[in-house]
């Protein structure tokens, strides 16, 4: 009697994402109109997006600055989605130079 078990090597997929990251992403705003607060900022960013689309040009550079946890990365993803382009995110310490 041989103990043959089915190959379950593909049953479990391991991901580099943190647990719950997909659910967290679903709660974040996806478009400018979904952002709550900062009405003037959101309005100005909407004008920038509309103008860039009308010119059929990329959006000018924007620098979001502030302490951790205020939505800079989320807003960056929203802007890329509004423009219909991909985004690459980095952090200041990753690009700092000594001296």
What pLDDT is stored for residue 35 in this prediction?
Answer: 94
Ranges of each domain in the chain: 31-95
What pLDDT is stored for residue 26 in this prediction?
Answer: 76
What pLDDT is stored for residue 89 in this prediction?
Answer: 80
What pLDDT is stored for residue 32 in this prediction?
Answer: 96
Q: What radius of gyration do the chain's Cα atoms show?
A: 20
Q: How far apart are CA 72 and CA 76, in angstroms?
A: 6
pLDDT along the chain (99 residues), means of 10: 61 57 75 93 95 94 90 93 90 67
Which pTM value belongs to this model?
0.67
What pLDDT is stored for residue 60 in this prediction?
Answer: 86
Q: How far apart are CA 76 and CA 87, in angstroms?
A: 8
């Amino acid at each position: 009697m041989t103990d043959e078990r089915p190959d379950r090597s593909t049953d479990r997929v391991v991901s580099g994402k943190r647990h719950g990251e997909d659910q967290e992403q679903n709660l974040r705003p996806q478009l400018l109109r979904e952002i709550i607060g900062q009405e003037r900022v959101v309005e100005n960013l909407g004008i920038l997006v509309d103008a860039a689309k009308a010119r059929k040009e990329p959006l000018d550079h924007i620098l979001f600055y502030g302490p951790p946890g205020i939505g800079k990365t989320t807003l960056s993803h929203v802007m890329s989605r509004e423009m219909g382009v991909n985004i690459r995110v980095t952090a200041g310490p990753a690009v700092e130079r000594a001296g």
